[in-house]
A and B are shown apart, each in its own frame.
Chain A
Amino acid sequence: MKDWRFWLAEQRGTLLAVGIFVMMFIIYSSNHPAGFSPNVVQTAANKGVLLAFVAMAQALVVITAGIDLSVGMIFTLTNCLASWVVVGSPLQVAMGVIVVLGVGSLCGAINGAIVIYGRLQPIVATIATGAVYFGIALALRPTPGGGVDETLADAMTGRVFGVVPASLVVLAAVVAVVWVPFSRSVTGRAAYATGSSEAAAYMSGVPIRRAKMAAYTLSGLLASIGGLFLTFFTYTGDAAYASGNAYTLFSIAAVVLGGVSLFGGKGSAIGAIFGALAFRTIGDLLFVFDFDPLWQPLFQGVVLLLAVSLGAFGLFRVRNRLDWFG
């Protein structure tokens, strides 16, 4: 096999996600009353980027064969925190942003420490830490409120050179600064190896703990970038349980749509980003077709159900029935 074939086989999930997104977005923008204009793209980007950050966060953990059910709560917590600290003079704002990102990373690191050193199952551990993070968010913002530096917020949600949405630029920058170095480092490869088979990775002397710790910490960092952006969009902090929960669920959906295997070791954060963008576009399709917004949750659910059922087609290729049981 040639090199590019290996590359294609490895990136199949990601490419599929890109394909789904492009198709959905063409349907979306061609039926949008305003057509394919910078305004439409900007609105769509601003909505999609939030989920994209959270989905990236989820993808990092899922690659190590874990799951982070607290990711939406870290998102909510950092949103509430940002509504307190990202205000004042430029220096204070800069410090505030650093504090928010630091707290997000800390939350991720706590998850990682509990999973790695506490040896608890990620699913239970992160449900419980999620409750803690939500509690802290609620303590910070019992009622919605607060503010954010509006110059920074407008710059982040506006357009660069009048065409490209700034949020997309930031997303690309985060991919370049966080994901690309991580996935190419020894630690990143170790994360893939751990997700693929922890026992084999251990036997080969792969630094399992370092890889997992890095994945969970970076996951917290990415979720906090998402939380920061939510603050930029809404200008407020809001400890909403339903919204945090929804982001956790949607992040898992986006990760699956993006071709990241929940069994670990397969997929990429880039796939998750396109999965998130595709998921958001699907949700918004209803609006351009003038349906009652009431139907949106049902429509999203059905699309999700169909999307995950598509994965079942792999069953037809199974020759040995024992392979059913993975």
Chain B
Amino acid sequence: MSDLSTTRMPAFMRRLDPAVTTAFVCILVLLLVGSMYSRNFLSPEYLLQQLKVASFLGIIASGMMLVILLGQIDLSLPWVVTVGAMMSSAVAGYGELGSLLSVPFGILCGIAIGLINGVGVAYLRIPSMIITLATNAVAQGLMVVYTGGFSPRDNASAAMRYLATGEAIPHVPNAVICWLVVGAGTVFLLTRTTFGRSIYGIGNRERAAYLSGIDTRRVVMTVFAISGGLAAFGGVLLAGYASKAAQSMGDAYLLPAIAAVVLGGTSILGGRGSYLGTVAGVMLVTLLLSILSVMQMPEFGRQIIYGVVIIGMLLLYGRERIQR
């Protein structure tokens, strides 16, 4: 980047990522389109409801973003979400103590799967796409055996329901607060800690990061564990929201999570991206899905438009530079 042109711009403009800006502009466009369809679309209640729905995706996408920043990908997300939901509901059945432990236990299960991914990627050097596919299959197998192939009968605990649907502060759903906490934590991690800087370093070039004294393998392993934990936390909240876990409830979250991260300007090759972009991406995806359902689009149309819009937006700003 040339210094001359950038120094003349005000500081806040210089820091703006064109991708993030485009994403926010797209959100405004979506809001406009939505408001043309229905007057309720811009009402505070509806927007708050959207924010609540977005917070589930936001929490899950936060973990995915960290992994993508490393230049890796976590395809075990669908069943880690489901494991989080099912295991926390399962523990909730064990009386007072179980109800208390349900949330941490669900998250712990996610962290455990994430750790396996992390060890595979960091220490065994297995490509992340393969090892996470494999752990996804194992997690699915475990849950199929656990439930016997039927939808599970356990109900979500009171704590889970409170986290997902309650309102500790009037008019602010707890799910949104959860996302705020997770988001603040991620931003702090990425911008204020050595750990966060090493994530960016590894994403740019792991070799260089290793040579500059970072224990890259430990960082990669930890990030996968965090991603697993966050995905499971998302699952716990989803179970609390629906008051039940369901088979393959996580399938609907893989594409949106990756899409949200990538639409937010994070490079799928790693090393570049900001959390603000991911927030924009999450809102973008949620609004898009919500508009399609407001328009009463049948499922097939939703899938087609969804795919086309994602490709279109990526063509706008997600393109790689020409290698010459």
Contact = CB atoms under 8 A, between A and B. Distances in A.
Given A124-B259, A245-B251, A311-B126, 12 more contacts: A120-B319, A121-B268, A132-B308, A242-B248, A262-B127, A262-B129, A297-B140, A298-B145, A302-B138, A312-B124, A322-B210, A325-B207
B126 to A, nearest CB: 5
Nearest to A312: B124
A131 B303 contact: yes
Residue of A120, A199, A241, A295 most packed against chain B (CB within 10 A):
A120
B152 interface: no
B311 interface: yes
B302 A135 contact: yes
Contact of A128 (B133, B140, B300, B310): B310
Interface in B201-254: 206-207, 210-211, 216, 248, 251
Interface of B is mostly: helix
Interface of B: 73, 120, 124-127, 129-131, 133-142, 144-145, 148-149, 206-207, 210-211, 216, 248, 251, 255, 258-259, 262, 268-269, 299-308, 310-311, 314-315, 318-324
Contacts of B321: 119
Contacts of A301: 134-141
Given A134-B303, A135-B304, A249-B133, A298 B73 contact: no
Nearest to A136: B304
Interface in A28-47: none
A142 B300 contact: yes
A127 B133 contact: no
Contacts of A300: 137, 141
A148 interface: no
A130 B299 contact: no
A118 B320 CA distance: 9
Interface string A114-142: 10001111011101111110111111001
Contact of B304 (A132, A241, A295, A322): A132
A1 interface: no
A129 B135 contact: no
B130 A252 contact: yes
Contacts of B210: 321-322, 324-325
Given A138-B303, A295-B141, A309-B120, A127 B126 contact: no
A295 B145 contact: yes
Contacts of A262: 127, 129-130
The 9 closest A-B pairs by CB, nearest first: A298-B141, A135-B303, A301-B137, A135-B304, A131-B307, A132-B307, A301-B138, A138-B300, A312-B124
A314 B211 CA distance: 22
30 contacts: A118-B314, A119-B320, A120-B318, A124-B314, A128-B307, A129-B307, A131-B304, A132-B307, A134-B303, A135-B304, A135-B306, A136-B304, A199-B323, A242-B251, A249-B137, A253-B130, A256-B130, A262-B130, A297-B140, A298-B138, A301-B138, A301-B139, A301-B140, A304-B138, A305-B137, A308-B131, A311-B126, A312-B124, A315-B125, A324-B210
Given A118-B319, A245-B251, A308-B126, A135 B137 contact: no
A256 B301 CA distance: 34
B138 A312 contact: no
Given A312-B124, A312-B126, A135 B148 contact: no
A130 B259 CA distance: 13
A252 B310 contact: no
Nearest to B319: A119
Contact of A294 (B127, B144, B299): B144
A120 B311 contact: yes
A245 B148 CA distance: 21
Nearest to A295: B145
A245 B139 CA distance: 16
Interface in A137-189: 137-139, 142
A124 B148 CA distance: 34
Contacts of A120: 311, 314-315, 318-320
A67 B320 contact: no
Contacts of A296: 141
Given A121-B269, A124-B258, A67 B129 contact: yes
Nearest to B305: A135
Contacts of B314: 118, 120, 124-125, 128
Contacts of A202: 323-324
A84 interface: no
A233 interface: no
Contacts of A129: 307, 311
Contacts of A68: none
A259 B234 CA distance: 36
A198 interface: yes
A199 B322 CA distance: 11
Contacts of A326: 125
Q: Which of B134, B269, B299, B306 has the most CB of A within 10 A?
A: B134
A253 B307 contact: no
